[in-house]
Structure 1
């Protein structure tokens, strides 16, 4: 393996990069909220629930089909000189193109099967319209990580802003202006994904445009060896994230699914803060691990990140617990005020999950242990969901 020669970022640069990445995550999350808020008002509950099911199916299966490869960008690029970066990106992109093709074929051919499992006939045609999306978005899943590794935080912000704005325009206009319903929303999502794909592929090689590139000695075997535990965690994470949504869709119907998918969402700022800090400290931990830094340096950086994150997350978590009903009604309309109890339940997570532990575990080669924690959680959640639908049938 290539040994890292990249200079470690200063704390000031890390803070600026984290702030820019947090803004990008805020934009990304805000677009999801804005789109959901508009579609909830212009589509009936069944159509909106179908749209949410399509997105749910994509995001959950994406964890499996991506095979943990998105984490490889930060890990391998942070350890290698920039002259080898373009070759590493090219290798990872080839793997993503192959996996995305398999994903798209699965969605198209398996639409009937998935529709039967989810108990919604409207999914068949809409999944087939959506099937091209993995081939558009998966090859650019690593673009933000690439730009973060080389300190292009402003470029990440611009890319996310343009992509999410295009998503709002295409998805919402298809429903509001052209009255396309759920199929129009899906087609609008696909069109916006095409724009994101073109821009993302170009930006993936932006950091290397003035660099003389060389072929790295990293092979597919090295990548798969690292990504396999991450892939297993992704599979377990698939069950963790999809289990409750599946049981609600299967046993309570599409209308209850719409209520559940709107209410049971993490705090608006939680993923923003955690995602930003993880995106910055993961390559930093990877550099430190490659350079053989003392473990006390890892702990010191971890504590700093935890303290700064908690000062933001804790007060806002309490606010959301108190005003959950008003927040749901303001975002989605009065029809979804009853989802407040779900929002209260998920808001408690913010008090516990302040900093993601994946960056430090994966950078230290503890991928197997990282995966095992998710295996235990997946087994517990599946078991509890089965008990709930049989003995306490209420979402």
Structure 2
């Protein structure tokens, strides 16, 4: 079975560092372009309008944890165990159907509960934006597995190109629209939705690119087996969501959109930490899934080496961010966001432990 896996994925056993590097490039570019968007919108929009836009992203990101049900991680885990390209296409098709269904439920819930969510966050202007934003789950949920698919199939370079181009398109759409409309939240939201539709369509096409010309084979994967793997991941995601999102909720509800903008710009995870840990994690999941079938002892060795190397990169930069937090915040977002340096120091301090 191991020889068949190696033939199908082109020698998946080697080159973990190279794959992690390409995933790191895609994560790094994505983080940088997202930061550029935040820098531009902080200057082009008023704090209240920018805060409302950030609340839209917050609601979407929060509910995405609930409605994705841990399915994105299933792509890497189950694809690493298939015996043929036909079975691989069958796995992708089965998981994509689940994601499409959950995306529809997500979009309908976001549309119908928009006013209630706006009231919960204490911002009536949020309701119309959420109704427009309900298109995003329909566009993006079918493509949530593109990263796991491309990494497992050793196509991280293509993944990096896709992430870079999609984020660049979002940057251009959102920033140009904000400049042309004078920072109107509704126009910026429509621009983000349009960019998401294009990105999701290309991502879905890319998800099937490793299996082009291959007929899907049913294999032995059942929906019950998928859910048995996905639910623990889902529960972990819910726990992480409660820890990370509760502060944002209380700031949004009791302090207003303007203070929410300051909080969101300040209390952000250090980009390098996110890049390193997410890149290493994306490569480790399929690798450990394969090693569990062949060499369990090597699983521990791979994990320990990954943790050590990640910490050696993240810790020095975290210390730098703690020391120079005020200068970093002013340079990125302007003098009006200097007070967010206290929050940025706290977030950087957490990186030392995380």
TM-score tier by shorter-chain length is: over 0.9
Q: Which TM-score applies when normalising by structure 2?
A: 0.95
Q: Is the 8 A contact 1:140 1:201 kept in 2?
A: yes
Q: Is the 8 A contact 1:5 1:79 kept in 2?
A: no
Q: In structure 2, what is the equivalent of residue 72 of structure 1?
A: 74
Shift of 1:152: 0.3
Contiguous gaps of at least 5 residues in structure 1: 354-395
Q: In structure 1, what is the equivalent of residue 59 of structure 2?
A: 57
Q: In structure 2, what is the equivalent of residue 124 of structure 1?
A: 127
Shift of 1:342: 0.2
Q: In structure 1, what is the equivalent of residue 156 of structure 2?
A: 153
Counterparts of residues 304-315 of structure 1 (less than 5 Å) = 304-315=305-316
Counterparts of residues 286-301 of structure 1 (less than 5 Å) = 286-289=289-292, 291-294=293-296, 296-301=297-302
Q: In structure 2, what is the equivalent of residue 6 of structure 1?
A: 5
Q: Which is worse superposed, 172-181 or 252-261?
A: 172-181
Match of 2:227 among 224, 227, 234: 224
Q: Take 2:65 and 2:159, find their aligned partners in 1: how far apart are those partners?
A: 22
Q: Is the 8 A contact 1:84 1:213 kept in 2?
A: yes
Q: Take 1:80 and 1:4, find their aligned partners in 2: how far apart are those partners?
A: 12
Match of 1:187 among 190, 215, 218: 190
Q: Take 1:92 and 1:212, find their aligned partners in 2: how far apart are those partners?
A: 16
Shift of 1:234: 2.0
Q: Is the 8 A contact 1:263 1:339 kept in 2?
A: yes
Shift of 1:237: 2.3
Q: In structure 2, what is the equivalent of residue 168 of structure 1?
A: 171
Q: In structure 2, what is the equivalent of residue 384 of structure 1?
A: none
Instruction: Please list every run of at least 4 consecutive aligned residues from structure 1 whose deviation after the TM superposition is greater than 6 angstroms.
Output: none
Shift of 1:249: 1.1
1:163-197 CA distance string (max 9 Å, x none): 00110011111111233511111111101011111
Q: Is the 8 A contact 2:170 2:196 kept in 1?
A: yes
Contiguous gaps of at least 5 residues in structure 2: none
Aligned length: 349
1:331-386 CA distance string (max 9 Å, x none): 11110011000000010122122xxxxxxxxxxxxxxxxxxxxxxxxxxxxxxxxx
Q: In structure 1, what is the equivalent of residue 339 of structure 2?
A: 338
- SS of residue matched to 1:6: helix
Q: Is the 8 A contact 1:65 1:103 kept in 2?
A: yes
Counterparts of residues 146-295 of structure 1 (less than 5 Å) = 146-179=149-182, 181-211=184-214, 213-289=216-292, 291-294=293-296
Match of 1:94 among 86, 94, 97: 97
- SS of residue matched to 2:226: helix
Q: Is the 8 A contact 1:63 1:235 kept in 2?
A: yes
Match of 2:28 among 26, 29, 54: 26
Q: Take 2:46 and 2:180, find their aligned partners in 1: how far apart are those partners?
A: 16
Q: In structure 2, what is the equivalent of residue 320 of structure 1?
A: 321
Q: Is the 8 A contact 2:143 2:203 kept in 1?
A: yes
Q: Take 2:3 and 2:334, find their aligned partners in 1: how far apart are those partners?
A: 52
Match of 1:35 among 34, 37, 50: 37
Shift of 1:236: 2.1
Q: Which TM-score applies when normalising by structure 1?
A: 0.86
Q: Take 2:4 and 2:299, find their aligned partners in 1: how far apart are those partners?
A: 19
Q: Which is worse superposed, 276-285 or 80-89?
A: 80-89
Q: Is the 8 A contact 1:84 1:216 kept in 2?
A: yes
Give the root-mean-square deviation of aligned CA atoms: 1.5
